[in-house]
Amino acid sequence: MPRAGLTTAAVVEHAVRLIDDSGPAALTLGAVAQRAGVAAPSLYKHVGGLAQLRLLISVRVLDELAERTAAAVLGRSGDEALAAFLHAYRAYVRTHPSRYTALQQQPEPALDAAAGRLLDVLLAVLRGRGLRGSVAVHAARCLRSAAHGFAVLEAADGFGLPEDLDTSYTVLVGALTAGLPRADGTSPPSGDATA
């Protein structure tokens, strides 16, 4: 019989707290069981093993990202909504760098719904800028790549120069916003090529 109060959600909670405290490499069923106060075999009543637990953690991270970014863009539109999305994405990773690092990046059917919720937030922001269809997909890929790359480098202390990272991220957000395609799919003007 499962321990009273121990559920799949509780196991995931213990796992993400372990990752937050000790990093993704510390994630083992034994370590999660110790945190939960049960024997490791008891976890199998709630998760099918370490691989499934990793997927459930990834779903949790994607859901949290979707919730945070959706809350950030609520009531905003255009460039303001896009900036709010990008800043909320970075803020989540800064708050939970180890948890974010544990997020599985490769395609996995079990993650499709959670990843879709995050993508829906971004696509709604892009629709607010008049971008739809393949133009919006290309823009979403570029935006996600930039936000993910910056956040991962920052979390790993990958920026060695002394300049302020908030300023750097503001520059990135501005460049991304200015560089997005127009609603008709054409590129923004690139300026005077002779300058």
Note the CATH number of domain 55-179. Answer: 1.10.357.10
Q: Rounded CA gap, 6 and 68, in Å? A: 27
Average pLDDT over residues 25-31: 96
| pTM for this model (two decimals) | 0.89
Rg of the chain (C-alpha set):
20
Give me the pLDDT at residue 109, please. 92
What are the pLDDT digits (tens) for 70-112? 999 999 999 999 999 999 999 999 999 999 999 998 889 999 9
Task: Note the pLDDT of residue 171.
Answer: 97
Per-residue pLDDT at 183 exceeds 80: no
Task: Report d(CA 38, CA 181) in Å as an integer.
Answer: 54
Instruction: State what percent of residues in the chain have pLDDT above 70.
Output: 94
Helices (runs of H) and strands (runs of E) counted in the chain: 9, 0
pLDDT band of residue 190 (cuts 50, 70, 90) is: low
Average pLDDT over residues 61-67: 97
Question: What CATH superfamily classification does 1-48 receive?
Answer: Homeodomain-like (1.10.10.60)
The mean predicted confidence, pLDDT, of the chain is 92
Angle between helix axes 133-155 and 112-128 (nearest 10 degrees) is 110
pLDDT top residue among 78 and 5: 78
Give the torsion sign (CA, 52, 58, 60, 66): negative
**Residue 38 and residue 35: Cα distance in Å, rounded?**
8
pLDDT score of 185: 67
pLDDT per residue over 117-133, tens digit each?
999 999 999 999 999 99
Label each residue of 132-187 as H, E or C.
CHHHHHHHHHHHHHHHHHHHHHHHCCCCCCCCCHHHHHHHHHHHHHHHCCCCCCCC
* Domain boundaries defined on the chain: 1-48, 55-179
- 162 pLDDT exceeds 90? yes
Give the Cα separation of 13 and 2 in Å (integer): 17
**Looking at the predicted structure, is the pLDDT value of residue 194 above 60?**
no
